[in-house]
Amino acid sequence: MAQNESFRTRLLRWRFNFFPAYRRTGARLTFLTDDWREVHIALPLNWKTRNYVGTIFGGSIYGAVDPIYVVMFIRLLGPGYIVWDKAAHIEYKRPGRSTLFAKIKIDQEELETIRSRLDEEKSLDRQYRVEVVDEAGKICAVVEKVLYFRKKRA
């Protein structure tokens, strides 16, 4: 079921885009569902994101998706959980010569899996994959993130 962006999440998206560390990547969140389960990102090719050879700088590509999963999981799991980045890997498939896009989604089943496994285990590592595509839908980069999850101690 498709979810719309609310006025509240538009304001949160706007604030996120103006946060200095994220703003400097050159990327922008373009869509954020009201329940924080889906985020869309756009990374334009411009003077801020262009590298020496005229394509999108790899650091901007990674920086565009780097904080998103952690922030989403913190919001979705709530204050009783700790979420950290543990590792990341990026594989560049082709140069970004136009605006790049990424969609990040987290479904209810994933949240239930994390919660139930943390009822039995002290901590948990989960791997997530994001494809960064160009305007034609061709994959320019694949980012794999490993996140660490733990329940907060009482």
Largest CA distance in the chain: 52
Sequence-distant (6+) residues with CB within 8 A of 119 are none
Write out 27-94 in H/E/C secondary structure. Answer: CEEEEECCCCCEEEEEECCCCCCECCCCCECHHHHHHHHCCHHHHHHHHHHCCCEEEEEEEEEEEECC
With respect to residue 2, please indicate whether it lies within any of the assigned structural domains: no
- Per-residue pLDDT tens, the chain, 154 aa: give them: 457 888 888 999 999 999 999 999 999 999 999 999 999 999 999 999 999 999 999 999 999 999 999 999 999 999 999 999 999 999 999 999 999 999 999 999 999 999 999 999 999 999 999 999 999 999 999 999 999 999 998 7
With respect to residue 1, please indicate whether it lies within any of the assigned structural domains: no
Total domain count, the chain: 1
With respect to residue 85, please indicate whether it lies within any of the assigned structural domains: yes
With respect to residue 48, please indicate whether it lies within any of the assigned structural domains: yes
With respect to residue 122, please indicate whether it lies within any of the assigned structural domains: yes
Cβ atoms of 113 and 149 closer than 8 Å? no
* Whole-prediction pTM: 0.92
Cβ atoms of 139 and 131 closer than 8 Å? yes
Determine the 3-state secondary structure of 135 from DSSP: coil
With respect to residue 94, please indicate whether it lies within any of the assigned structural domains: yes
CATH number at residue 143: 3.10.129.10
Domain interval for residue 33: 7-151
With respect to residue 134, please indicate whether it lies within any of the assigned structural domains: yes
d(Cα 106, Cα 86) in Å, to the nearest integer?
Answer: 18
